[in-house]
Structure 1
Amino acid sequence: MTAIVFDLDGTVLRTVKAYRDVLADAITSVRGDAPDAWLETYTASFLECFAECEPEPIRRTFARIDDCDDPERYATALLEAEIESFSPPPDARRVLEELSAADTHDLGVLTNGVRDWQLAKLRGNDLEQRFDAVVASYDVGAHKPAEAPYRELETRLPADRYVMVGDSDSDIEGAQAAGWDAIRYDGGSFEDVLAAIDSA
């Protein structure tokens, strides 16, 4: 059995917007505008929280903004903005459906992020049911390319072979260090991913 494991953000789900614009949309939906100070504080603080795998990093980050009176509301707005802004590549649904129906493949997601947050994005795009296992970096307290997320995926999805499909160096380098095959996805057709898996 081969486990084909996909990165989430930038691979299974993509956006044409800069993330700063997604963040600005979320803030504007609550308070009517998105001050530069909010955007800059959020970006810097989130990176600190996320790097250390602090609990509830999105809500905690909004709480660090001086005049943010309802961090939970802003966090909810940001999740909604991400769900609205991110969508699968054009033929991804069909290819994932074909792969999930095949007896020779299991499908997984290995994502740097908070589990509930990332699952909500999969559900919001009607994709959660396509995957046999989802591992988020917060599940193990370490982000790709660290070894722990890859080993956790192996525990949850036993297979003879693992193939990582991702858009970043951390996806590829972490997979190779774990002894997996790795395929870089830079956009375009998911059919090309299938061809690359077959030839890897």
Structure 2
Amino acid sequence: MRAIYFDLDGTLLQFDEGDVVDAMTAAFEAVAGEARDEWLEAYNAGFLERFEACEPAPYRGGVERARAEAGFDGGVEETAAALLDAEIELLEPSPGAGETLAELGEAYRVGVLTNGAPEFQRAKLAAHGLHEHVDCVVASYEAGAHKPDLAPFELAERRLPADAYALVGDADADVDGAANAGWDALRYGGGELGDVPGDLGWA
């Protein structure tokens, strides 16, 4: 049996880049009653630093940076939880995502291969009811490197043994990483996921 993996953020779940800032703002306002620019900038820098290095708890790390460098005095755990909740709330499943995953599951093994921390990415998937349609979720943190590095793809193969693999994703990291791993790849450009096996040449 063959396996089809999907990227999560930007593929199975959609968001507008402008909404990300709005979500951060709403989270800080919920905790502190305001959202100063310097807090958001420090938070974002701290988050990205931890995320890119696959270090634990990037949301908490961002809040700690805002406290240490920008004078934010809100609770670390409370603010980190509010930020994750706000991010989950802004995400929307791609049109027909659940149905597509369910249909593919009848003939293929189906997984999610995502850049991120496993607990957060699985929470996003579950919040939108997509977790029940996939056989496994592989997060880059578990491999110690983000796509396009080969490590997440190698871990995905170990987690979901199959005769052949493909990845559907919206970013160069997805397409280039899949190609380097010897997988087939399909770039997602928005809208309905469509006939994935046909577009891959697997039908």
1:141 maps to 144
- CA shift for structure 1 position 132: 0.5
In 1: Cα distance, 2:38 partner to 2:159 partner: 42
SS at match of 2:179: helix
Q: 2:59 touches 2:84 (CA, 8 Å); kept in 1?
A: no
The CA deviation string for residues 156-185 of structure 1, in whole angstroms up to 9 with x for no partner, is: 101111110000000111110000000000
Q: Counterparts of 1:86-101 in structure 2 under 5 Å?
A: 86-100=91-105
Q: Which moved more, 1:109-118 or 1:187-196?
A: 187-196
2:42 maps to 41
In 2: Cα distance, 1:164 partner to 1:42 partner: 31
In 1: Cα distance, 2:149 partner to 2:90 partner: 28
Superposition RMSD on alpha carbons, in Å? 1.5
Q: Is there any run of 5+ residues in structure 2 with no aligned partner, and where?
A: none
2:182 maps to 179
In 2: Cα distance, 1:194 partner to 1:31 partner: 48
In 2: Cα distance, 1:68 partner to 1:107 partner: 43
1:151 maps to 154
Q: Is there any run of 5+ residues in structure 1 with no aligned partner, and where?
A: none
Q: Counterparts of 1:1-200 in structure 2 under 5 Å?
A: 1-18=1-18, 19-66=20-67, 67-100=72-105, 102=106, 104-198=107-201
In 1: Cα distance, 2:103 partner to 2:134 partner: 12
SS at match of 2:116: coil
Structure 1 vs Structure 2: percent identity of aligned residues? 48
- Runs of 4+ in structure 1 displaced over 3 angstroms? 192-195
The CA deviation string for residues 10-33 of structure 1, in whole angstroms up to 9 with x for no partner, is: 001111352222211222222222
In 2: Cα distance, 1:189 partner to 1:68 partner: 43
In 1: Cα distance, 2:56 partner to 2:100 partner: 35
If the length of structure 1 is used for normalisation, what is the TM-score?
0.93
In 2: Cα distance, 1:164 partner to 1:178 partner: 10
In 2: Cα distance, 1:12 partner to 1:198 partner: 21
Instruction: Count the aligned residue pairs.
Output: 198
SS at match of 2:166: strand
Q: Which moved more, 1:167-176 or 1:187-196?
A: 187-196
In 2: Cα distance, 1:193 partner to 1:34 partner: 42
